């Protein structure tokens, strides 16, 4: 057997985001194969064998790779539309366009979404795809192919909708699936693509879209399917005041109680947004270990409100960060969510005590790993964990006068990525993707956005 190859990074600041928040003002990280072998203060140990690369990290901060916990890749080709709408009006405005996506469009949009995240420090991505118009090709396969080509670790939350306009829902009738069709297609996606092994590059979750776009039967049977297959569950929850009113009118209870009645609270569940949560809701999430994907930019873009993240964390709720779809967060970057999570939450009841820079970094790394059920593998820099890490350049004009590197990363301008590793393999170097031609992706996404606009206009 060939000897394991090592990469040695030295002379950088390190924020491990381990249980003790261990940091080193100047230290080293040794990567052996796909794992972190060792790290600590000062220079790397002498006499390491088969070192294929040594990196001088002077002026840099090493952190775990960022983990995205909520997204809708297809929206990359509908950015900049309905910019002054709340959630329900925004959905009404955009569903007629989204209902006309096809495999070619979805592949290009996934490439754009993944490229933007990866070049900004994301090493584990996630997509909640729930729009499956009839006869439009293998949309799940296209998304997974784009993630594989980009080189990032990936969770596809195979979504679904079975409540269309004729049933009082928002999507057009031809853009939803039947109950049996959605369940069968979801199970087939799990069977074909889910990898449960340590270090898996592709995993699948069961993910009916939201309480107001799916039937109670799809939620209940979806939960049963996920647990029979041993995969995680994901959906939208408590995003707006209107959603709460909808649940009370239709089901006679609020969203959290409704989710619990359908089997949708538990350690294998995470929900996006969770903006409108009362004390009882937060206690239920904490009691059951249900996770939250906090999406501060999207919540602000759609005027949904400020999620009670400090209260969730104090109660013990697992919380990660999400980009959300780029029709409600046009930047498409997760590292900006570190900053926005801190700033937006300081506008809430806890003010300056809401979050600090290190808590924000934890949300975007270890918190995300918890939410995706992968905290034993990723989310912190520790020996034995997968070598998913980012080397941020902090010695330029944008950051050089900020003494604390974590503060510089979180509160400063977007930091350049000198190196991003996924399982020890470089994905980004000097802020450029290594496996994908960014310029070609930009041209493709523009062409597909224009094509979708033409098709929608004709319809």
* Annotated domain spans of the chain: 6-64+380-433, 66-372
Rounded average pLDDT over 229-238: 98
Rounded average pLDDT over 325-341: 97
User: In CATH terms, are 6-64+380-433 and 66-372 the same topology?
Assistant: no
Q: Is the pLDDT of residue 1 over 70?
A: no
- What confidence score (pLDDT) does residue 2 get? 66
Distance (Å, rounded) from C-alpha 289 to C-alpha 371?
Answer: 9
- What confidence score (pLDDT) does residue 173 get? 83
Alpha helix ranges (H) inside 194-269: 216-229, 241-251, 255-261
- What confidence score (pLDDT) does residue 403 get? 98
What CATH number labels 66-372? 3.20.20.140
User: Which two structure tokens, joined as six digits, stand for 36?
Assistant: 């972190």
Q: Is the pLDDT of residue 136 over 60?
A: yes
Place of tokens 């996630």: 126
CATH 2.30.40.10 fits 6-64+380-433, yes or no: yes
What is the tens place of the pLDDT at every residue in 43-73?
Answer: 999 999 999 999 999 999 999 999 999 999 9
- What confidence score (pLDDT) does residue 172 get? 80
User: 419-458 in b/e burial notation, b at 16+ Cβ within 10 A?
Assistant: bbbbbbbebbeebebeebebeebeebbeebbebbeeebee
Among candidate residues 116, 113, 148, the one with its CA nearest the CA of residue 127: 113
> Does residue 237 contact residue 256 with C-beta atoms inside 8 Å?
yes
DSSP structure class, residue 50: S
Rounded average pLDDT over 446-458: 97
> Does residue 345 contact residue 354 with C-beta atoms inside 8 Å?
yes
Q: How far apart are the first and last CA of the chain?
A: 60
pTM recorded for the entire structure: 0.97
Q: How many CB atoms lie within 10 A of CB 375?
A: 17
Among candidate residues 73, 231, 212, 229, the one with its CA nearest the CA of residue 140: 73
122 membership: H or E segment, kind and range: strand 122-129
- What confidence score (pLDDT) does residue 323 get? 98
């Amino acid at each position: 057997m060939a000897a394991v190859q090592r990469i040695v990074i030295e002379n950088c600041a390190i924020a491990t985001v381990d249980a003790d928040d261990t940091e080193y003002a100047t230290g080293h990280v040794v990567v052996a194969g796909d794992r972190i072998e060792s790290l600590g203060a000062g220079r790397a140990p002498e006499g390491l064998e088969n070192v294929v690369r040594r990196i001088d990290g002077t002026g840099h901060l090493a952190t775990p790779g960022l983990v995205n916990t909520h997204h809708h890749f297809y929206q990359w080709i509908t950015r900049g539309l309905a910019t002054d709408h709340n959630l329900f009006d925004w959905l009404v405005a955009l569903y007629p366009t989204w209902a006309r996506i096809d495999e070619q469009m979805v592949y290009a949009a996934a490439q754009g979404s993944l490229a933007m995240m990866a070049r900004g420090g994301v090493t584990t991505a996630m997509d909640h795809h729930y729009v499956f118009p009839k006869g439009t090709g293998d949309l799940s396969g296209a998304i997974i192919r784009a993630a594989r080509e980009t080189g990032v670790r990936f969770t596809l939350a195979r979504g679904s909708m079975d409540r269309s306009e004729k049933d009082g829902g928002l999507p057009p009738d031809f853009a939803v699936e039947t109950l049996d069709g959605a369940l069968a297609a979801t199970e087939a996606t799990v069977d074909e693509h889910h990898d449960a092994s340590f270090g898996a590059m592709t995993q699948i979750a069961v993910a009916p879209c939201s309480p107001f776009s799916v039937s109670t039967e799809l939620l209940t049977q979806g939960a049963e399917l996920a647990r029979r297959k041993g995969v995680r569950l994901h959906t939208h929850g408590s995003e707006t005041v209107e959603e709460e009113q909808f649940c009370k009118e239709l089901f006679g209870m609020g969203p959290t109680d409704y989710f619990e009645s359908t089997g949708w609270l538990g350690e294998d569940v995470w929900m996006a947004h969770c903006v409108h949560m009362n004390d009882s809701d937060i206690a239920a999430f904490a009691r059951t270990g249900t996770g939250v994907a906090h999406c501060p930019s999207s919540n602000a873009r759609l005027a949904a409100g400020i999620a009670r993240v400090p209260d969730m964390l104090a109660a013990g709720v697992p919380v990660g960060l999400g980009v959300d779809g780029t029709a409600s967060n046009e930047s498409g970057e997760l590292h900006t969510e570190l900053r926005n999570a801190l700033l937006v939450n300081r506008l809430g009841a806890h003010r300056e005590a809401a979050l600090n820079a290190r808590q924000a970094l934890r949300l975007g790394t270890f918190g995300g790993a918890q939410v995706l059920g992968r905290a034993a593998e990723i989310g912190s820099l520790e020996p034995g964990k997968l070598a998913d890490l980012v080397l941020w350049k902090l010695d330029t004009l944008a950051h050089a006068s900020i003494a604390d590197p974590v503060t510089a990363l979180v509160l400063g301008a977007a930091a350049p990525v000198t190196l991003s590793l996924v399982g020890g393999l470089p994905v980004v170097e000097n802020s450029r993707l290594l496996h994908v031609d960014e310029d070609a992706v930009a041209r493709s996404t523009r062409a597909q956005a224009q094509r979708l606009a033409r098709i929608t206009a004709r319809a």
